[in-house]
Amino acid sequence: MANELTTAAKAALEKGQPDEARALADRAYRDHPDDPDARELYTALHLAAAIRLSARAREARRADIVRRNIPYETEFEDAPEVVKAFDEADAALDQVLAADPRHEKALTMRASLLFRRDRTKGREPALEILRAVVAANPANRQALYAMKKIENPCKRCSDSGFCPRCRGRGSRRILGMESKCETCHGQGICLVCGVL
């Protein structure tokens, strides 16, 4: 039965139906939690969702900064919709880690999400997660790279994570005309440290 569900989930993915694929993978894992194929597909699909939701949270913050016209290097509280977006990304990671508590990619992403959400409060918990990942697998380059970026405050953006040229807006106004920021390619993030 697990093989049928995982096969159906993979077929749904090939048809471009990620929600249906995730529902089938959820069912396969729920019904057969010890099946390695069901677990692998379940974690892969939820990790993909977490990646997508994390990018959406970052974009929600950028749009909120523009909407509220928050000056650069000004402390601010995230709007409720931004908080919700970060919570959804975190919940997707919870699902991956519930199935596989040592999933290195999910743990690395959790650390990056904690740091991205709040660079001051999230720095130490993020580093703690990454140190554990590296202790378990010293060859994990992604975790080592993330740890290096989090340990050393970014000089380019004053460790804000936002593009210093457009000040996190993704666009610049020159002579009264709005244009996409070439430095960050319209993303509003510091490309040195904000890509975490």
The 3-state secondary structure of the chain reads CHHHHHHHHHHHHHCCCHHHHHHHHHHHHHHCCCCHHHHHHHHHHHHHHHHHHHHHHHHHHHHHHHHHCCCCCCCCCCCHHHHHHHHHHHHHHHHHHHHCCCCHHHHHHHHHHHHHHCHHHHHHHHHHHHHHHHHHCCCCHHHHHHHHHHHCCCCCCCCCCECCCCCCCCEEEECCEEEECCCCCCCCECCCCCCC
Confidence class for position 170, pLDDT limits 50, 70, 90? confident
Confidence class for position 195, pLDDT limits 50, 70, 90? low
User: What pLDDT was estimated at residue 66?
Assistant: 83
Domain ranges of the chain: 1-101, 109-152, 158-196
Confidence class for position 74, pLDDT limits 50, 70, 90? confident
Tens digits of residue pLDDT in 12-69: 989 999 889 999 999 999 999 999 999 999 999 999 999 999 989 988 988 898 888 8
User: What pLDDT was estimated at residue 90?
Assistant: 96
Average pLDDT of the segment spanning 84-91? 96
What's the CATH number of domain 1-101, 2.40.160, 1.25.40, 1.10.20, 2.30.30? 1.25.40
